[in-house]
Structure 1
């Protein structure tokens, strides 16, 4: 309360200065300058010392209230993510529970798996936007792409050192840092194990606590296993919405662990149970593709033309070859196809 009153008095003082300038002729210029400088300094001190006011104008670590994060995350996923009932349920619960826990024992670690175009990058983007207003552009959100940031196998030891230094330095600045690793299926085996200490249950490592950080991994690895389960449900006349996390989580983690083309191949992160959730993204059906097209059309401000929606969905290729149930690119090429049909 004292900080608030101090900031308020300083702000009021600055606001009244212009009214006093009419009497400036009776005041020496130097005295007036010192008065203005003093009032400005007092206002700035109050401004900086009152965190909520400061963070209104500048991005801060731990900026949004935990309940607001969960509400924003749920709303965005409900409106813009289709065909992924497991993702919506698991991600919201995991993030909400983690942020509401004042005594977490380790960082939150999510591993998102599924085919291209099913929504993995989109969900990581939504999580970032829910926690920080600037989303992926926030200085507290760090994104790594395997083929861009770690392209050469012979430099793996250098990459390990650089990755450790980057994470250590940024968590020291902001405990609630978010790290996103894309293309885990293309990452060199063993590289990701270099961050194992940061994901473990240590209270401090060299004076730094990593327990409030969030790590998200994105990978195509395990997509075959996910499709296998989904297809089995479909062939047995069961709804995809009846698929439960336990129907595939164990099989998914084993599949990823034993995949030699995955950055998680025999990874200690899996072996030591440091990944909290393996989140399966189901392959998208025809109806989900149409939903994606509709939302994209509306977001661009175009009038929805049902004929165009149907034509775009029909142009997608689907698998398996006999049943043609799932889009092989998910919703990934929707943007490009819309550019063609709505080229005014």
Structure 2
């Protein structure tokens, strides 16, 4: 083995041992130790070549100078080792930073993916339909918020409750709400929807006839579109859907015919879709004048309003000429479960409506303010002026007018 080889091996062993023992947490790799050995060899070679030739003759001076050079060389090697160690630590830090950057952005990407996936999911699931039904709250709100409509509160709640609780209904629940404007038909249908489904539910479908079917010469197109719309909605969840049809007295006859198959006893299989758990509510002003006349005569006979019965009102609606009403196809098919009459509202009911509107708007009011609001409404008949012409429909605007 040559002097160069022996020196390199000695330096390798010595430097490797010193560095590993002095810094066990950051040991140099074999490649870095090799660089350090070569650096030490070059330093030793340079030192051997640096003394002047004559100075080697003085032995004591030579050894003292050799020790000095060894110490300097050792310091340079240690500095070099430190530099290599620092460089290696920086490389590892950069590697860790890149690893952390990859993990960080991967995590952010995964989070964004999960958020987008959650947003794309339906806002409510079909399996949660039964969980949202709040029949106790429905009864409470109907009794507390619907004024002057004892038949509606009793009939609507009982039928809805029975249908929702029935695990095997034979047909959908079909309610037909009748009465003049402002007596609470849309208000009650909204209360029913709010207590069977969450807000803005995808299982509640409202059709305003005058807006969706304005042209009488396009009834075939309307019929096919409405049929497909109902089928697609029901297919998304057969557990329960709520279909609200407003202004039914304006619906084209051919369009109403397209709805009939969904309402009867064969609704358990319409194009392979089960409609029996769903609810259909039809709203119209049809029969409103007849109901008003019957209630007025009842009042003239000095009978209490609460003594009016469902049978009495159903006889009024059934006594209409079927050829002149929109629901003729439904009556002939015997699919309507109940005609729900909305009675004309008396002055006292208007006062209740005004009071609730005041509370909702945060007004401080007195009985005199309520009377002023009631005085701004129109009433019929002319000789009695007991029933509001527009029900409670215009109460909110009258509140704004009186209270400023």
- Tell me, yes or no, whether TM beats 0.5: yes
Aligned position for 1:283: 344
Aligned position for 2:359: 298
The separation in 1 between residues aligned to 2:196 and 2:128, in whole angstroms, is 7
Matched, 1:139 2:173: no
Structure 1 residues 321 and 62, CA gap change in structure 2 (3 angstroms): farther
Instruction: Report the Cα offset of residue 36 of structure 1.
Output: 6.7
The separation in 2 between residues aligned to 1:252 and 1:66, in whole angstroms, is 36
Q: Tell me the SS of whatever aligns to 2:254.
A: coil
Structure 1 residues 323 and 259, CA gap change in structure 2 (3 angstroms): farther
Structure 1 residues 209 and 68, CA gap change in structure 2 (3 angstroms): closer
The separation in 2 between residues aligned to 1:149 and 1:165, in whole angstroms, is 14
Aligned position for 1:251: 316
The answer on whether the counterparts of 2:132 and 2:196 sit within 8 Å (CA) in structure 1 is no
Instruction: Report the Cα offset of residue 69 of structure 1.
Output: 2.1
How many residues are aligned here?
A: 304
Higher gyration radius (CA):
2
Match of 1:191 among 255, 260, 264: 255
Instruction: Report the Cα offset of residue 273 of structure 1.
Output: 1.1
Q: Tell me the SS of whatever aligns to 1:158.
A: helix
Matched, 1:97 2:162: yes
Aligned position for 2:128: 63
Between 1 and 2, higher relative CO (CA 8 Å, sep ≥ 6) is seen in 1
The separation in 1 between residues aligned to 2:365 and 2:204, in whole angstroms, is 35
Structure 1 residues 61 and 301, CA gap change in structure 2 (3 angstroms): farther
Instruction: Report the Cα offset of residue 299 of structure 1.
Output: 1.1
- Unmatched tracts of structure 2, length 5 or more: 1-95
The answer on whether the counterparts of 2:171 and 2:264 sit within 8 Å (CA) in structure 1 is yes
Q: Tell me the SS of whatever aligns to 1:207.
A: coil
Spell out, residue by residue over 1:229-287, the C-alpha distance to the aligned partner (whole angstroms, 9 max, x if none): 212221112111011111121331342x6262x322x32x1112101110000000000
Match of 1:182 among 233, 240, 246: 246
- Unmatched tracts of structure 1, length 5 or more: 1-24, 49-53
> Relative to total residues, which structure has the larger helix share, 1 or 2?
2
The answer on whether the counterparts of 1:66 and 1:100 sit within 8 Å (CA) in structure 2 is no
The answer on whether the counterparts of 2:132 and 2:198 sit within 8 Å (CA) in structure 1 is no
User: 5 Å matches for 1:226-265?
Assistant: 226-255=291-320, 258=322, 260=324, 262-264=325-327
The separation in 2 between residues aligned to 1:30 and 1:293, in whole angstroms, is 63
Structure 1 residues 275 and 66, CA gap change in structure 2 (3 angstroms): farther
Give TM-score, length-normalised by structure 1: 0.80
Aligned position for 1:6: none
Aligned position for 2:24: none
The answer on whether the counterparts of 1:107 and 1:199 sit within 8 Å (CA) in structure 2 is yes
The separation in 2 between residues aligned to 1:212 and 1:133, in whole angstroms, is 17
Instruction: Report the Cα offset of residue 166 of structure 1.
Output: 0.2
User: 5 Å matches for 1:317-332?
Assistant: 317-332=378-393
Q: Tell me the SS of whatever aligns to 1:282.
A: coil
User: 5 Å matches for 1:1-344?
Assistant: 29=100, 58-61=123-126, 63=128, 65=130, 68-134=133-199, 137-175=200-238, 176-202=240-266, 203-255=268-320, 258=322, 260=324, 262-264=325-327, 266-267=328-329, 269-343=330-404
Q: Tell me the SS of whatever aligns to 2:243.
A: strand
Instruction: Report the Cα offset of residue 158 of structure 1.
Output: 0.7
Spell out, residue by residue over 1:266-319, the C-alpha distance to the aligned partner (whole angstroms, 9 max, x if none): 32x111210111000000000000000001111112112221210111111111
The separation in 2 between residues aligned to 1:200 and 1:69, in whole angstroms, is 26
Question: What RMSD, in angstroms, separates the aligned Cα atoms of the two structures?
Answer: 2.8
